Amino acid sequence: MEKLIVKGPTPLKGEVTISGAKNAAVAILPATLLIDGVCTIENLPNISDIKISCEILEKLGAKITWNSSNSITIDTSNLTTTKAPLDLTSKFRASYYIIGAMLSRKGEIEVGMPGRLQAWS
């Protein structure tokens, strides 16, 4: 772990941008499937898990617009399938969040669980 040691009588001042929490973001993105409409989510961490989550949502039919590197708008009003891409969901540990959201919204989901295919209804 790095540390910064400051010595002297001069007070510190400035700004720091704090990135959003990964664990919160990977739960919030699938939660957008619960509504039939548009959500804007800001302060997303710019990491691969977020990009994979967005790709899964797009494969389900959501329209995703990146407003900036840390802000997206998701339109879930035209979901086209209940079959999540197995190649992505089977490698993505947090894909279980999609199960609850899609069961609530559509009543069924087919998603790749790590190591195997699982259908839910």
Written as one letter, the residue type at 32 is: T
5 occurs within a structural domain: no
Q: What's the burial of 57, exposed, middle or buried (CB within 10 Å: 0-12/13-18/19+)?
A: buried
Query: Is 1 within a domain?
Result: no
C-beta separation of 44 from 64 below 8 A: no
> What integer is the mean pLDDT of 60-65?
97
CATH number reported for the structural domain that contains residue 82 in this entry: 3.65.10.10
What's the number of domains the chain is made of?
A: 1
Domain assignment of residue 3, yes or no: no
Domain contains 32: yes
Q: Over 60: is that where the pLDDT of 117 sits?
A: no
Does 79 fall in a domain?
A: yes
Per the domain annotation, does 104 fall within a domain?
yes
Question: Does residue 15 fall inside a structural domain?
Answer: no
List the structure tokens of 78. 């035209």
Which amino acid belongs to residue 109?
Answer: I
- Residue range 15-37, pLDDT digits in tens: 888 888 989 999 999 999 999 99
Q: Which domain holds residue 71?
A: 22-120
- Tell whether pTM > 0.95: no
Percent helix / strand / coil, the chain, rounded to 5: 35, 20, 40
